[in-house]
Structure 1
Amino acid sequence: MKTSIVWFKTDLRLHDNETLIKAISQSDEIIPVYCFDESNFVTTEFGFKKTGSFRAQFLLESLIDLDRNLRAKGSGLLIIKGRPEVEIPKIVQQYKATKVFAKKEVSYEEKQTEAKVQEELFKLKCELKIFSTSTLYHAEDLPFSIKDIPDVFTNFRKKTEKDAIIRAAFDAPKEIKSPEIEPLQLPTLKELGLNFEPIDSRAVLQFKGGETKAIARLNHYFFETKCISEYKETRNGLVGANYSSKFSAWLALGCISPRFIYDELKKYETQFEANESTYWLVFELLWRDYFRFMMKKYNSKFFQQSGIQDKGIIVNKHNTHQLQEWIDGKTGVDFVDANMKELKLTGFMSNRGRQNVASYLCNDLKLDWRFGAAHFEQQLIDYDVCSNWGNWAYLAGVGNDPRGNRYFNINKQSTDYDKNKKYRDLWLKS
């Protein structure tokens, strides 16, 4: 009897999950496992939680949904807690598994954990098989090796669009053979060291985790409202659910994959229309790919103050008071404050808002950009390690921006994007 473990991480879905499909095809039975890695719930060197309560709640909802979907196919989800390099081998021994299937990691800490798990499994004569499941374009299909990927996005995009193909998404498995798996036993937020924080009623969306909700959101944004056909015109919006796709939270935890979105987008274009807006969603998914490939290329450099450019930047002496005012939305700059209050009370902020508050922290306060990135890591419901640190480095002038320091004139931005003060009034009148 060939038994394998499927180690779920940020790939909490059945559709387009190569890891799961390959495990099923190479095994007589599988045991789906999720490990609450204790290192994801510590306080970082910057003084912020690695996972805040909005994202933790979203994760718990996603795991409930994954377990439900697995059980509908004859399986279920086993929950373990601790360090993966300790806990995964215990499950391997318990079930006499010969292989562990998992998604491939690219960022520094995650890769270290992956290597430690592999080392422990090797001692048990158990193989770790990893698959790239997070990007639109597969790394193997790119027209350059990872070390030769251009450091300017436009160069990467043009060549990739011209010379690379997007693979078809995998279908969800029809059935999964597993031994009997005990009912789902999730830790509470309190056990994770967090308190429940409800999403403020003014939020753009009451985000709920899980693949089922992700697909429902896609169907709403594409087929029910056809909002995708105006995405390019509305994507800089600030108020309401439909100015942008809002797929990011589900993408971050892998409740939905970029290729699944792409396949559905192609169906939409065939049925209704293909225009600049439908293309623009692919363009944004390509940015997401790019930061992931850049993280693979530069690894730990993305977490250093000098970034991938090894560039000295002028940073003021750390000012805890100024940082806290920024966090609490009390800087006195109304556009920055409105955005930071939205983040604090909902775990979300528009892309336009993110660029402005980051520019303010880096260019006006001249604080170390990594404190901003670490606060976002704690606070964002859609935190993705590659996109978050890649974007912050970009705004700080030490990442992939060929123009260097990108300064936002916040008064002009607020006039351009919040002309009638609708957004600022929504968040500052409380």
Structure 2
Amino acid sequence: MSERTILVWFRNDLRIRDNEILLEAVRKADKVLPVYCFDPYYFKKNISGNSKTGSLRARFLLESVADLRNNLKAIGGDLIVRIGSPVEIISQLAEEYHVNEVYHHREVAYEETAISEQVEAALWKMRLNLKHFIGHTLYHKEDLPFPIKDIPDSFAVFKKKVERDSDVRPCIGTPETINTPVITDAGELPTLQMLGLNDVIDDTRLSAIFIGGETTALTQLEHVFSTSLQNANGKPSRNQSAAGPSSKLSPWIALGCVSLRQVYWEIHKHQHSAPANYFNALVLDLLWRDYFRFMFKKHGQKFIATKNEDEQTVTTGGEDELFESWKNGETGVPLVDAIMHELNATGFINNYGRQIVAVFLVNDLKVDWTKGAAYFEEKLIDYSPASNWGNWAFIAGVNDARESKYAIVTKPAIELELRSDYIDTWLPTVKSVDYQDFSDTVAIK
């Protein structure tokens, strides 16, 4: 009887822990062929002439893929890396290694699902199956108290029903060993130049640099809880984000270097080590992520395609100039400029900062919200399609649920203790802010 080979197509699930496609493949196949494709589609130029994926995010991705390869090697495997269309690469590898089936995690945003459909169609012609798994959410869709088509459009209703009627599944095991076919050419990781990008020059004001990969994700996860009491009772340091404290787990979550379930169960394990309700905002973050993914699954591209028909978009003259001033941090509004300087220099700002600059672009400058969303896509190292475009759509009032508008923070900016190297003009401080007041608006951290 011939050996059974399963190709595992990694995308935004760059980990070996709590990874269902990897564990299931190891259990059901004689040989497992792990593959990652650097798809040129994600590095093409956008309408502004910049790469769809900026250098900071691309570097984080390269580090994450390299770490995945190292972790697979540690259990006896390897990772095939290729640059090119997944349709061509997966098909070619499936034929070369006599693959019986291909596994991958299902995506929800239209660009990602379109690529999956193209791969599925190509494999179907080869009489091979592309098996879909669900591995990007906290709650498994089969455990929701309603079918996808009936998911409440209101986040408040979604949260209440899910927390009351559903349970988070435990994390699954980690393969101890993996058997791969004899790989003649695993492929080298591309450089930034090979992806059409420039090298990253790290900003001198950086207190820490985000390093991609599951290994660093686990270190950061441990750090979040080991410092929880200090952070809960202390004040933001000068080197902290201009917009307040953050767990800063989202870059690793976005690429699946750590699963939402693993973060959730770590919170559950460490709740006793911090003041009551201290981790509520982080759990809320995980729920918002689920909500946006399920909204994309329910509504598809309609979720962000057009503005509500009953609303008229009012724009001002010189929109391009206004947008340029916003993205370069040259609006003349110190808080907004500080946050944008930090985004451009580091590829990361916390959720509160994102809300501030997004609301300013949409409501004050009257600039098309999609320009801001596309700019975040390029710059953010923790870019996730559903969370990014979902957040921007909500702030702009673009969704099928009229009631589900963002509850934007009402604290005046002057009340924030602005201690940031990314702002040239120091704003006066009136008093400290209880950041827990903002927990109900957290969607990305």
TM above 0.5, one fold?
yes
Partner amino acid, structure 2, of 1:384: S
Task: Tell me if 1:427 matches 2:428.
Answer: no
Partner amino acid, structure 2, of 1:209: G
Partner amino acid, structure 2, of 1:415: I
**Deviations 1:329-348, CA, capped at 9 Å, x for gaps:** 00111111111111111111
How far apart, in 2, do the equivalents of 1:70 and 1:95 lie? 18
> Aligned residue for 2:288?
287
How far apart, in 1, do the equivalents of 2:251 and 2:107 lie? 18
Question: What SS is found at the alignment partner of 1:35?
Answer: strand
Shift of 1:34: 0.2
- TM-score, with normalisation over the residues of structure 1? 0.91
User: Residues 14 and 256 of structure 2 are in contact (CA less than 8 Å); yes or no, is this contact kept in structure 1?
Assistant: yes
Shift of 1:401: 6.8
User: Residues 7 and 33 of structure 1 are in contact (CA less than 8 Å); yes or no, is this contact kept in structure 2?
Assistant: yes
Question: What SS is found at the alignment partner of 2:412?
Answer: helix
User: Residues 305 and 369 of structure 1 are in contact (CA less than 8 Å); yes or no, is this contact kept in structure 2?
Assistant: no
Partner amino acid, structure 2, of 1:352: Y
**Which residues in structure 2 correspond to 1:96-107 (within 5 Å)?**
96-107=98-109
> Aligned residue for 1:31?
33
Question: What SS is found at the alignment partner of 2:291?
Answer: helix
Paired-residue identity, %? 43
Shift of 1:23: 1.2
2:157 corresponds, among 130, 155, 163, to 155
Task: Tell me if 1:196 matches 2:208.
Answer: no
**Deviations 1:106-128, CA, capped at 9 Å, x for gaps:** 11111111111001001111111
Distance 1:104 1:227, change over 3 A: farther
Partner amino acid, structure 1, of 2:419: K
> Aligned residue for 2:212?
209
1:266 corresponds, among 262, 268, 291, to 268
> Aligned residue for 1:329?
329
Partner amino acid, structure 2, of 1:388: N
> Aligned residue for 1:415?
414
**Which residues in structure 2 correspond to 1:6-405 (within 5 Å)?**
6-45=8-47, 47-181=49-183, 182=185, 184-203=187-206, 205-222=208-225, 224-227=226-229, 230=232, 239=241, 243-269=245-271, 272=273, 275-306=276-307, 311-316=311-316, 319-399=319-399, 402=403, 404=405
| Runs of 5+ unmatched residues, structure 1 | none
Shift of 1:233: 9.3
> Aligned residue for 2:436?
none
Question: What SS is found at the alignment partner of 1:86?
Answer: helix
How far apart, in 2, do the equivalents of 1:85 and 1:167 lie? 33
Shift of 1:46: 5.4
**Deviations 1:164-215, CA, capped at 9 Å, x for gaps:** 1111111211100112334550111011010112332323631000000000
Further displaced range: 168-177 or 183-192: 183-192
Further displaced range: 362-371 or 318-327: 318-327
Distance 1:406 1:413, change over 3 A: same
| Runs of 5+ unmatched residues, structure 2 | 427-445
How far apart, in 1, do the equivalents of 2:222 and 2:243 lie? 14
Shift of 1:87: 1.3
Shift of 1:284: 1.3
User: Residues 243 and 352 of structure 2 are in contact (CA less than 8 Å); yes or no, is this contact kept in structure 1?
Assistant: no
How large is the Cα RMSD of the aligned pairs?
Answer: 2.6
User: Residues 11 and 253 of structure 1 are in contact (CA less than 8 Å); yes or no, is this contact kept in structure 2?
Assistant: yes
Distance 1:228 1:38, change over 3 A: farther
Question: What SS is found at the alignment partner of 1:422?
Answer: coil
How far apart, in 2, do the equivalents of 1:100 and 1:274 lie? 46
Partner amino acid, structure 1, of 2:301: S
- TM-score, with normalisation over the residues of structure 2? 0.88
Shift of 1:240: 8.6
How far apart, in 2, do the equivalents of 1:129 and 1:231 lie? 47
Question: What SS is found at the alignment partner of 2:241?
Answer: coil
Q: How many equivalent pairs are there?
A: 421
Shift of 1:278: 2.2
How far apart, in 2, do the equivalents of 1:228 and 1:63 lie? 33
User: Residues 55 and 381 of structure 1 are in contact (CA less than 8 Å); yes or no, is this contact kept in structure 2?
Assistant: yes
Shift of 1:322: 1.2
User: Residues 34 and 77 of structure 1 are in contact (CA less than 8 Å); yes or no, is this contact kept in structure 2?
Assistant: yes
